[in-house]
Structure 1
Amino acid sequence: MASIPGLRGLILAATAAVITSAGAVFVLIQPADETRKITGTVDAAPGLAWSVTAATDGHPQAEFRNPVGGTEFDVGGAGFVDAGDTLVTVTGTSNGGMALQDPTMVGIDATTGAVRWRTPAADLGGCGRVPVGGRLVCFAAPATGKGALVGYDVDSGEVTRTPTDWLVFALATTADRVYVAEGDVESDDVRVHAGTLDRPEANWSQAFPMGTSWEDVSADTLDVAHGQGLLTLGAHAAGFDLGTGTSTWTTDLAGCASTEATSAALVIRTAADCSGNGITGTDILDRTGRVLAASDATATHSLSLDQPADDTIPVLLGDGARDRHTGTVVWTNPDLVATNGTAIAVLGDVALLRDDFAHNMTGLDMRTGRRLWRIDTQRSGTADAWDGHVVVLSDATGLWAIDPRTGATIWDIPFLAVHDKPEAITGGGQLAARTNGRYVYASIHTMIGLRPLDHR
């Protein structure tokens, strides 16, 4: 009998939770038909278009969760899946333990903040980041009965279930395809399928003789967003063709190595000392598994946004940048290896760097490596959204936008200027840039929509 992934084994023998949503009413704080200027902000800052809380009259302590993390365990942060006109999120009540109580999938109108629908969403192991055919696709591992792929219509919340005998442990999606990884990882008996919600193996099925312990199956086990498929299980990684499923390469991740995918069909492999002494080197694998370039710099880069303008923009590696096709050095800059690595985002043809020890931020030209600007700042936030003009960062106190080419602050929105209760809007949420200067930010208790003041 197959073992059960991670914490899942503690719950699968229990009775499935009963979800009750009758009479639940969300609180829309900000009227949907006007945009309010946020007190103390500059005119360039977007105003508050709408604000909605996770709490309902039936669940006053409810919180927002990102559906991608599933509902089987309370392990995900606040967030949503952007499905165009609808933002799909999960609400539930945290009791301080492993379980999310009364999880419910919710569709919120992206323009007005109005709640379009609510649907029970118990026992979901995870969901795709991209809707497929107008449906958010998830996989279920219920406490009783068989597993299933579950689709939530983004317009109505209507549920479609495809029962399966597979032991699914990962799911990923593109705009037109569902990818499912299933099997017993502890027996190296794993398969990946590509297809649709109704026929998940319709396009192809491919076996991968690799595995790990269930406890080591991670949320990023399956990646299909960077030009090739990447399956990572413990000390093993494999690349595969997204169109055919053909396995193109495999590699062992010695020691405490890790992988991260980037465009186009490249994998950055970072080697680390398992004793905790830090990074020992980094290399880049191409779509055939060949080492394209390598660096022995004891620093690597963690990009919260990796959005190069095109494949002529080199890829960061150690203290420099390498050509994405040949691996040759394009330029080097010591700013990249201050302390433990400084790049936090690649935005078009600019890299954004932050050095928390020196308390500064820097912009580098990605084509030449030339420093464009440097500013001293005590503020240390995450680059969360880029609309092609400004990058918006967040921390525990609020959101602020800078011009990545000059470092100039364009606007700053403290959370306390939006809501006077400190617990209402907090850091650690999810921010998404939409069109025409509009943004959505979801924190644990409150989701807000921002749009330019000239919309009024």
Structure 2
Amino acid sequence: MNQTARLTIAAGVAAVSVVAAGVVLAQDRTTTIKRVTDASPAAPGLAWSTTPSDLGVEGAMFADPRTGSEYSWGVGSIHIDDTLITLAVVPDEYLGNSDAHMIGLDAHTGDKKWLTPAPGLAACSEQPLDGQLVCHRPSYGEQTGLVTFDVETGESREFDTASEIFAATVANERLYVAEGDLEGAEVTLHRGTLEDFDADWSEPIYVWAGWEDQYADQLKVGSEVGYFDLGGGFATFDAVTGRETWSTDVLDDCLTAQYRTAGDLAIASTYECGSTSGEVTGTTAFTRDGDVLASREGPAVHSLSTDQPSDISIPVVLGDAAFDRTTGEQLWQNDLLVFDYPGDEYNEPRTQGTLTAVIGDVGLLGFDGSTIGIDLRTGEQLWRTAETRSLIGTDADTVIFSSGSELGAVDVRTGSVLWTLEPGKLAPDADSSLDTFVEGSGGSYLLQSGSTVVKLEPLP
């Protein structure tokens, strides 16, 4: 059960109306890189930073377009060409967000390019379509359908679509839309264009969840495979034809979907059918066609914050062992992959998986106040440190971490700390918990919090 899909909806040609022209603005901002006070010598410097107030939205906080503007729960931005697109929302204690604007920034300088009202959005696709950021409004709102924002100008347009739309995305230069009764498992996927959401096809798919679940941004589509994993189940379809290839039900199949990974594999935890405890009995990897590739008995389930194997030659870890992603052959076993948590006054004792990240051919393990790096090709330990850090991003063999009021980088192969700095000293209004990694490579990083967007660059 694998990957990506986003589906298009409704019949006929969508009615289009221009609803808002983005306010296009220009600022003259220097990009002199400034050394951060008290940062270590190798730390990058500050190229630019900005806040919602700087951008003309008072009382707002940044939010991720991928999670929408109605009830934003994430922080982030989408980088398309030379434009960095983010949301600024004004929280309301009772109504989610009372106001919202989509903002386009010059990704190189941080200058504001445009500002456009963007209320009531359920989610936006990471990939553009015809130069447009594509978003949708929920079916239960006063207005429903698709909303687009021109990447260069911010001009917003509305497209009529199916009345029961609840998810949409862009992939393969097409629009994918999901509509129907999610709680009743009566869902249809469509593929088409902005003007004609079901121009290519409309196909049923077995997927169900509660309306209180996170679903608006869960439709994923790759070049060949799409998936819509909700309610603890897998739902996989052909991205070209829309035909469902396989699906699971958390109750009927006695398994819970965990995550998708390289090689078109789907990882699930299993439990004893008929059991009332729900205790995990093992972990299974399924192929893109729903066949079992490999299984490992035991209660340990790994929760990965980052899953970036360099290629499919890197084994997949199930429980305390690693398996070939193509043949399913067990390659090695390591007891460090499982930790028996003793419990405390608030938590019962339990066995847990320790793998927290896969970066290239290195796995990071975290347990009992320690972080361990292992070679995923052999299972051998590379390094160990008596510290735990929250990984927020990667740059080749460099891990970017956030730890309390400290931001820094670690060499993933040695565990050595490369540099550190205090986010609160980046700028006068910088957030001390700058812990969303938008993107980065070559020592240049774009970071974000609810109050600040920051660009770091290597010092000359």
- TM superposition score normalised by structure 1: 0.85
Q: State how far apart, in whole Å, the 2-side matches of 1:385 and 1:100 are.
A: 28
Question: Aligned letter for 1:335?
Answer: L
Q: Which amino acid counterpart does residue 357 of structure 2 have in structure 1?
A: A
CA offset digits 1:247-289 (Å, max 9, x no partner): 1112222367233111221111123689677533211111111
Counterpart for residue 271 of structure 1: 270
Aligned partner of residue 186 in structure 1, secondary structure: coil
Partner of 2:58: 60
Partner SS state of residue 453, structure 1: coil
* 251-260 or 188-197: bigger deviation: 251-260
Residues 1:197 and 2:194 aligned together: yes
Deviation per CA, 1:79-100: give whole Å up to 9, x if none: 1112232111110111333411
Q: Does residue 306 in structure 1 map to residue 307 in structure 2?
A: yes
Q: Does residue 218 of the first structure (1) align with residue 218 of the second (2)?
A: no
- For 2:161 and 2:74, locate their aligned partners in 1 and report how far apart those are by CA, in whole Å: 28
Indicate whether 1:36 and 2:34 are aligned: yes
* Contact 1:127/1:138 (<8 A) preserved: yes
Distance 1:269 1:69 in 2: 25
Is 1:194–1:200's contact at 8 Å kept on the other side of the alignment? yes
Measured in 1, the distance between the counterparts of 2:153 and 2:21 equals: 16
Q: Alignment partner for residue 394 of structure 1, among 402, 423, 430?
A: 402
Match of 1:442 in 2: 448
For the pair 1:431 / 2:440, whether they are aligned, the reply is no
Find 2:360's aligned residue among 348, 370, 374.
Answer: 348
Instruction: Return the letter of the residue paired with 1:406.
Output: T
Q: Distance in 2 between matches of 1:68 and 1:433?
A: 15
- TM-score normalised according to structure 2 size: 0.85
1:242 & 1:20 partners in 2: Cα distance? Answer: 33
CA distance in 1, matches of 2:237, 2:129: 21
Tell whether 2:363 aligns with 1:366: no
C-alpha spacing 1:312/1:133, structure 2 compared with 1 (3 Å)? farther
The CA deviation at 1:452 is: 0.8
Compared CA separation, residues 221 and 165, structure 1 to 2 (3 A): same
Specify the alignment match of 1:380 in structure 2: 389
CA shift, 1:132, in A, is 3.2
Structure 1 residues 119 and 109 mapped into 2: Cα distance closer, same or farther (>3 Å)? same
- Mapped to 1, the partners of 2:130 and 2:441 lie a distance apart of 21
Deviates further, 173-182 or 58-67? 173-182
Partner secondary structure for residue 289 of structure 1: coil
Preserved CA contact (<8 Å) 1:24 1:57: no
Q: What is the CA distance between 1:51 and its match in structure 2? A: 0.6
Could you tell me how far 1:353 is from its partner in structure 2?
1.6
Task: Please say if 1:48 is aligned against 2:46.
Answer: yes
Count of equivalent residues: 427
Listed as ranges, the matches of 1:54-453 within 5 Å are 54-55=52-53, 59-73=57-71, 75-141=72-138, 146-174=143-171, 176-219=173-216, 221-225=218-222, 228-234=225-231, 236-254=233-251, 257-271=256-270, 279-339=280-340, 340-355=352-367, 357=368, 359-377=369-387, 379-381=388-390, 383-419=391-427, 424-427=430-433, 429-453=435-459
Most deviating of 444-453 and 322-331: 322-331
- Unpaired runs of at least 5, structure 1: 1-18
Tell me, yes or no, if the aligned pair for 2:55 and 2:112 is still in contact at 8 Å: no
Deviation at 1:198, TM superposition (A): 3.3
CA RMSD after TM alignment: 2.9
CA distance in 2, matches of 1:192, 1:146: 21
Q: CA deviation at 1:199?
A: 3.2
* Identity of matched residues, %: 36
Deviations 1:133-152 (A, max 9, x none): 33221111377665221221
CA distance in 2, matches of 1:81, 1:313: 29
- The unaligned stretches of length 5 or more in structure 2 are 1-18, 341-351
Q: 1:236 to 1:257 in 2, by over 3 A?
A: closer
Deviation at 1:434, TM superposition (A): 2.9
Distance 1:337 1:227 in 2: 35
More RCO (CA 8 Å, sep 6+): 2
Q: In the superposition, relative to structure 1, how do residues 216 and 282 fare at CA in structure 2: closer, same or farther (>3 Å)?
A: same
Which amino acid in structure 2 is aligned with residue 211 of structure 1? Answer: W
| Cα shift at 1:304 | 1.8
- Quick check: 1:140–1:148 contact (8 Å CA) kept in 2? yes
In the TM superposition, what is the alpha-carbon distance from 1:219 to its structure 2 partner?
5.0
Amino acid at match of 1:392: I
Which segment drifts farther, 160-169 or 83-92?
Answer: 160-169
Structure 2 Cα separation of the partners of residues 178 and 82 of structure 1: 19
In 1, Cα distance between equivalents of 2:276 and 2:45 = 49
